[in-house]
Structure 1
């Protein structure tokens, strides 16, 4: 017999908040849960596993669309691993691009900060360089 959990217990077990569980249910990532006679949402073990999967994928920065695709692949025993890898590789490529952009911003900001004397005078090379085009 499958043990059913309330949303509070599902939240504790999956590491998500009840609010996020309701959001994922509303967005269609997980099926709407049945309700108890008193109206409480009840979650089975399969849904708890899905919620844990979603939490892990969100912690890695996957979008909800990617998570939906990954969930569908996870639940499909006929899947090809190349489809899963393609989603993960695209996300990794996106992260690498963002890291490069952040490192570029860091270098520029370090140069700007180093160019300012930071004393009591009104002259500031940061402001001057921000107003220059190119």
Structure 2
């Protein structure tokens, strides 16, 4: 079983997601603006507990690499790198813009055809 913890901290809203074998199994976010430093580790602990997982069961951590809020990105990167170092697992940096574009194509059901601009 492959477990991936995803951290999004590039905007004023902070969120974490848990993906297992390619399926989203958990999502936690805070609507408290700019509360990344106070809430990120709490959200991670909650999502792991809710899904009965321990941190050592994670196979990798993915994090947003920007563009975005400098402070938010640094907080997310620090937590992600700390987890990866402690657990000896890979860190995956994801472009915030590419992630948003991918989500938009899925939400809008945009085909891969190039007949529109």
> Same fold, TM exceeding 0.5?
no
Which is bigger in relative contact order (C-alpha 8 A, separation at least 6)?
A: 2
| Structure with the larger strand share | 2
TM-score for the superposition, normalised by structure 2 = 0.22
Q: Say which structure is richer in helix.
A: 1
Query: Taking structure 1 as the reference length, what is the TM-score of the superposition?
Result: 0.21
Max radius of gyration: which structure?
Answer: 1
